[in-house]
Amino acid sequence: MLRDLFFPFFILSLALPLGAQDGLFPVFDIRSRLMGGTGVTASGIDALWTNPAGLSGSEQKVASAAASAEQRFGLSELVSANVGATYGIGLGGFGLQLASFGFDTYRETRIGLAYGRKLTDKFSIGVDFAGFATNAKGYASTFDVTFGLGMQLEITPELYVGARIFSPIRTERLPDEYLPQLLALGLSYRPSDKIILNAEVHQDTDHPARVRVGAEYLPAEQLSIRFGVATEASEVSFGLGYEVIEGLDLSAGAVWHEILGVWPGVGVRWQ
């Protein structure tokens, strides 16, 4: 029993410093995850976790939803899962977020609300608010709140720019321990309806900058092939998406981390 408790905590002690560069724990939708963790230029439900400005394109009252899960380090105790939904109101779109990571003895939970809208036909802004709860057996629970800002700009119909800052005001969780602060900048080049190429830089105040590159190729109308890489520490991701019926996509793939091994993941998206 002691081993069952010790081993997940040991892995967690390794994982948190490596994974905290994208929030209290990294959260991506399955599409962004398989594209190297890129997504600051994404739109609609694909932008829910990566840039609130991407929710701005909802000019009609349309609902979307998505869910993802991945098994970190091959341990069932360290499953990360998230669900989200978006709704357009004509003057932009709202999004709801819920994510969980950990096991019975240690768990992190994130809940959030996001909103994005267009200021012009080519320029969008967004804001999101997030609450983080941490529960560890034998320790007091914590709950912290922060916010983020985002923007997106269409330079040409093929080239987009996105930026996001998460937790711009330094927020103390525990004495001398703070919520991560993240700045992400990125470009997306879309030479055709079948190809998307993303390149981004993510900077956490407490870690080296990470370069993230991702690609998506649609060889057929229902099929998507996704690939990505990231630095500091190195990651390689690959996966597939398939539209089962109109509006319903299933995705699966894996991320290889140079230190912590392979993380398989699955997801579903309805829009």
3-state secondary structure of 9: helix
CA 80 to chain centre: 12
The per-residue pLDDT for range 149-177, each reduced to its tens digit, is 999 999 999 999 999 999 998 888 777 77
Residues 52/126, Cβ–Cβ less than 8 Å? yes
Q: What is the dihedral of CA 263, 49, 247, 162, to 10 degrees?
A: -110
Taking the chain (271 residues) in runs of 10, the rounded mean pLDDT of each run is: 44 47 64 95 94 84 91 76 92 93 86 95 96 86 92 97 93 78 95 97 89 97 96 94 95 91 93 83
Q: Which two tokens stand for residue 255?
A: 């991320």
Percent of the chain past pLDDT 90, that is, above it, reads 63
The per-residue pLDDT for range 117-154, each reduced to its tens digit, is 999 999 999 999 999 998 888 888 889 999 999 999 99
Is the CA virtual torsion 155, 208, 125, 85 positive or negative?
positive
Instruction: Please give the CATH topology (third level) of the domain spanning 2-270.
Output: Porin (2.40.160)
DSSP per residue over 99-120, as a string?
Answer: EEEE-SSEEEEEEEEEEEEESS
Domain range annotation of the chain:
2-270
DSSP per residue over 216-270, as a string?
Answer: EEEEETTEEEEEEEETTTTEEEEEEEEEEETTEEEEEEEEEETTTEEEEEEEEEE
